[in-house]
Amino acid sequence: MSNPDTPDTPATSGTPGIAGTRGKAGPAPAHPAPAGTHHLGHALKPRHMTMLALGGAIGAGLFVGTGAGIHTAGPGILISYALASVLVLLVMRMLGEMAAAVPRSGSFSEYAGAAFGRWAGFTVGWLYWWMVTIVLAVEASGAAAIAHGWVPGVPIWVFSLVIMLVFTGANLLTVRSFGESEFWFATVKVVAIVGFLVLGVLAIMGWLPDTDAPGLDNLTGNGGFLPNGWDGVIAGLLAVAFSFGGLEIVTIAAAESDDPARNVARAVRTAVWRILLFYIGSVAVIATLLPWDSDRLGSPYVSVLEDIGIPGAAHVMDVVVFTALLSALNSMLYGASRMAFSLSRRGEGPRGLSRVAGNGVPRTAVLASSAFGFLAALLNVWWPEQVFKHLLNSVGAMLLFVWFAIAAAQLVLRRRMEREDPDRLLIRMWGFPYLTWFVMLALAAVSILMLFDADARPQLLSSVVVVAVVLGFALVREARRRDLRRRAESRF
C-alpha cells in the first residue's frame, strides 16, 4: 500500500473505495508540500495503538466523574453506561471499518470529505481540532492543580506551562518515542484500574481481611435500583455519554503504523472492549460498595480503597489521576496535531501546518496545537467563569456531531467500497445499514434530551453555534472555489 500521506498526492484521491467526493466538488486538492518537508513516520506498533486509544479515553472522568453519575442515577447508572457503551461500540466499529480499509491521518475528517465533499471534511476536521485543544487545556489545568497541591508555592499557571512544554517536547520527538511514552503512561492507568477491579471484586465477595460482603444492599436498598427513576438514568446518560471520547485517536494514528490496515483493525477490536470493561466494571464495583447517596462519592476510588483498608489511598489516587491526565493530554495533543496536519495537507488549513520534519513529525502542527491548548489553559486558570466556561460549553456536545458525521460517512462509503473494492473491508459494521441508521437516530435522540436538560442545554446550544459558524465558513469557501473554477473554465 502506498504511503497515505505523501506530499504530492491528494489525501482522498486515487484511493479505492474512498476515491472522489460527492457531486461536482471532486477530491480535495492537497497543498504542495513546503520545501524541505518529509513524510510522516510509520513506527507505531499494535501495542502502541491499543494503549493510545486507552490513553485518550481514560482520563480523570473515570476516576472522579463516576461518582457524580452514581449520585445522579443511583445504581441505575449502570444502565446509562450500558447504553452509552452500545453507542460507542457501534460508532467505533463504523470508524474501524473505514480506517482499516483506508488508513488516513485525518481519519473521519477525510472520510466525511470523501463521502460528502470538501466542505464536510473541513467542518468535521476543524470542529474536532477545536474540541480536542479545549479538552487538552482541561487536562493540563487538572494536572497542574494536582501538582500545585503537592507544591503550593508554585502557581498553577506555571505548572500548566511546564506540563505543556514537556509534552510538546515529547510530541516533537519521533512518533516511536511518542508511542513508547504513551504506552507506559497508559499502562499505569490500566494497572491501577485492573488492581482496583480485583480488590473491588474481593471486597464484594467478602474475601479481604476485616471486610464483610455487602451483598446487594447498595444496589437494591435505599430507594431501589432506580432511586431517581428513569429520569435519573437519562440524566446519567447525558453525563456519561461523552466519557468515551478519545478512542477515535487510534484511527488517526493508523497512518503512522508499520501495518496500518491490520494494526488499526486489531487496536479497535481490543481497545473498545477493554474500555467498556474498565468503565462498566469500575462503576459496578463502586455502586456495589458505596451507597448511591453517600457524600463520599466526590472521590469514589479513594473512598472504596479506604474502606477496604488500603493505606495512603488518597495519595495513591492523586498519582494515578495525575498520570491519567498527563496521558490523556499526550494523546489529545497528538490527535490535534495530526488533524491539523491532515487538514493543511488537503488544502483545508494554513499551508505551514503540513510541514514535516526529518524525524517524521509535523512540528508546526504540534506547536500550533500546543500553543492554543496552553492559551486555553491560561484562560481556565485566570478567567474560569468569565471566559473558559463558554469555551468549554462550545465543545460540550461536539462529540455528538463528530460521531454523527462518522455514521453518515460510513453509510455512504460502505456502499462505495463494496462496489469498488470489497477486499479492503477487513472490518465490517454489524447489521449494515440498519445499525448505522440506529446510531444516527440515537445520537439525534441524545441531542433532543440535552435540549430539555437545564444543565446540558447551554452546552448543546453553544456547540450548535460553533458548528454553524464553521459550517457556514466551509460552505462560503466552497462556493468561492466553484466560482473561481467556473471563471477559469470560461476563459477557455
Q: Give tens-digit pLDDT for 2-40.
A: 344 433 333 443 344 454 433 333 344 455 555 555 688
Residue 37 is predicted with a pLDDT of 59
Q: Give tens-digit pLDDT for 67-88.
A: 888 989 999 999 999 999 999 9
User: Quick check: 90 pLDDT over 50?
Assistant: yes
Residue 438 is predicted with a pLDDT of 98
Average pLDDT estimate for 59-66: 77
Average pLDDT estimate for 110-125: 96
User: Quick check: 239 pLDDT over 70?
Assistant: yes
Residue 29 is predicted with a pLDDT of 46
Q: Give tens-digit pLDDT for 95-115.
A: 999 999 999 889 999 999 999
Residue 30 is predicted with a pLDDT of 54
What number of residues does the chain have?
492
Give bridge partners of residue 44 from the DSSP assignment. 257
Average pLDDT estimate for 122-150: 93
Percent with pLDDT over 70 in the chain? 92
Residue 33 is predicted with a pLDDT of 56
Average pLDDT estimate for 273-277: 86
User: Quick check: 466 pLDDT over 90?
Assistant: yes
Residue 265 CA, distance from chain mean position? 17
Looking at every residue in the chain, the average pLDDT score rounds to 87
Average pLDDT estimate for 225-244: 89
| More confident position, 385 or 17 | 385
Would you kindly state where each structural domain of the chain is located, as residue ranges? 46-490
**How far is residue 358's CA from residue 344's CA, in Å, rounded to a whole number?**
18
Residue 335 — very low, low, confident or very high, per pLDDT cuts 50/70/90?
very high
Residue 258 — very low, low, confident or very high, per pLDDT cuts 50/70/90?
confident
Q: Give tens-digit pLDDT for 400-446.
A: 999 999 999 999 999 999 999 999 898 899 999 999 999 999 999 99
| More confident position, 101 or 483 | 101
User: Could you tell me which CATH number the domain at 46-490 has?
Assistant: 1.20.1740.10
**Which residues contact residue 314 at a Cβ distance below 8 angstroms, ignoring those fewer than 6 apart?**
299, 302, 306
**How far is residue 331's CA from residue 59's CA, in Å, rounded to a whole number?**
10
Residue 34 is predicted with a pLDDT of 58
Residue 472 is predicted with a pLDDT of 96
* 312 secondary structure, DSSP code: T
The residue type of 68 is A
Average pLDDT estimate for 319-344: 93
Query: What distances in angstroms separate CA 421 from CA 17, 18, 23, one per listed residue?
Result: 6, 10, 21
Residue 245 is predicted with a pLDDT of 86
**How far is residue 100's CA from residue 66's CA, in Å, rounded to a whole number?**
32
DSSP characters for 410-474? HHHHHHHHHHH-GGG-SS--TTTTHHHHHHHHHHHHHHHHHHT-TTTHHHHHHHHHHHHHHHHHH
Most confident of 66-75, 135-144, 200-209, 331-340: 331-340
